[in-house]
Amino acid sequence: MKTRVDLREAARGLAFQLGDVWASPDLLESARLTWRGRMINERESASVFEGLSAQLERTSASPELVSEVRGFADEERRHGELCGAVLEALGGQAIYEADTPESFPQHEDVSLDEAVLRNVLSICCLAETVAVALIGAERLEMPEGPLRELLSGILADEIGHARFGWRYLDQVVATLDPKTRASLGDYLQVAFAHLEVHQHQNLQLGSSPAASGASLGLCDASAQRALFHDTVERVIVPRLEAAGLPARRAFALRHEAAAQA
Ligand SMILES: [Fe+2]
Ligand SMILES: [Fe+2]
């Protein structure tokens, strides 16, 4: 079952204009595909944070913490509209048929606190931290202008989403016993495997746009994949190891988790 998601009105209401950007028809088509993909990803991220806030609400987390995460869902919804506005400015339509969303992982095989930590690790410490690196690199290559400004706003929010995860981990890490740390290590294997599949889907090789593509947010997929791997191995894994989680082993064994899935 597909659901129609229509962001046209919201996107057009933002009246985004690209400014002085020239692009060939091929480049324009690639840019439309890229911003359409982003719009969909951002919109799906809103559901993910809604799921996380609902799960957090069932724990002893403070109402402030729950509402912070609910605010992230609002930000992701807004990112979806912003990306839709870019798509419209490129001549596309901010409307798509969404697959029935995957249900939010409840991880009922472990305690509620561990289930929340699994999701915070996967969403904030992994996916959002990678998003910060990739968007940050893209922004650096982009010339000054309205699109760079738009991306800067999105990046600032993604930094907040990633930081939330690392802060949350720091707060709960002292309460974790060795058995829970080992169990989280097993989970990280699966989370790393999923993250890699998702990133490789987004960063399809064979798309090395012309230099002028940077002004439209088009990136060299192989460079972005390399940055993704660097971010995981040099930032995420060491940070998780410092928190006492066996992340290096989990990352090394991620393909085994993928094979069992
Ligand atoms: Fe976002
Ligand atoms: Fe985000």
Tell me, what's the pLDDT at 90?
Answer: 94
Task: In whole angstroms, give the CA distance from residue 192 to residue 72.
Answer: 22
Nearest ligand to the C-alpha of residue 159? 2
Task: In whole angstroms, give the CA distance from residue 180 to residue 178.
Answer: 5
Q: Digits of tens for pLDDT over the chain (261 positions)?
A: 788 999 999 999 999 998 877 778 888 898 999 999 999 999 999 999 999 999 999 999 999 999 999 999 999 999 999 999 999 999 999 999 988 777 899 999 999 999 999 999 999 999 999 999 999 999 999 989 999 999 999 999 999 999 999 999 999 998 999 999 999 999 999 999 999 999 998 887 665 665 668 888 888 888 999 999 999 999 999 999 999 999 999 999 999 876 765
CA 179 / ligand 2 centre spacing (Å): 30
Nearest to 129 by CA among 232, 249, 259: 232
Tell me, what's the pLDDT at 2?
Answer: 85
CA 139 / ligand 1 centre spacing (Å): 14
CA 82 / ligand 1 centre spacing (Å): 10
Nearest ligand to the C-alpha of residue 123? 2
Listing DSSP states for 117-175 in one string gives HHHHIIIIIIIIHHHHHHHHHHHHHSPSSHHHHHHHHHHHHHHHHHHHHHHHHHHHGGG
Structure tokens at 140: 């650096």
CA 198 / ligand 2 centre spacing (Å): 15
Task: In whole angstroms, give the CA distance from residue 213 to residue 238.
Answer: 34
CA 135 / ligand 1 centre spacing (Å): 10
Nearest ligand to the C-alpha of residue 43? 1
Tell me, what's the pLDDT at 207?
Answer: 59
CA 128 / ligand 2 centre spacing (Å): 5
Residue 167 φ then ψ, to 5°: -65, -45
On whether the pTM is more than 0.85, the answer is yes
Count of other CB atoms within 10 angstroms of residue 4: 8
Tell me, what's the pLDDT at 100?
Answer: 77
CA 72 / ligand 1 centre spacing (Å): 8
CA 43 / ligand 2 centre spacing (Å): 10
Query: How is domain 2-98+107-260 classified at the architecture level of CATH?
Result: Up-down Bundle (1.20)
CA 29 / ligand 2 centre spacing (Å): 25
CA 38 / ligand 1 centre spacing (Å): 9
CA 164 / ligand 1 centre spacing (Å): 14
CA 127 / ligand 2 centre spacing (Å): 8
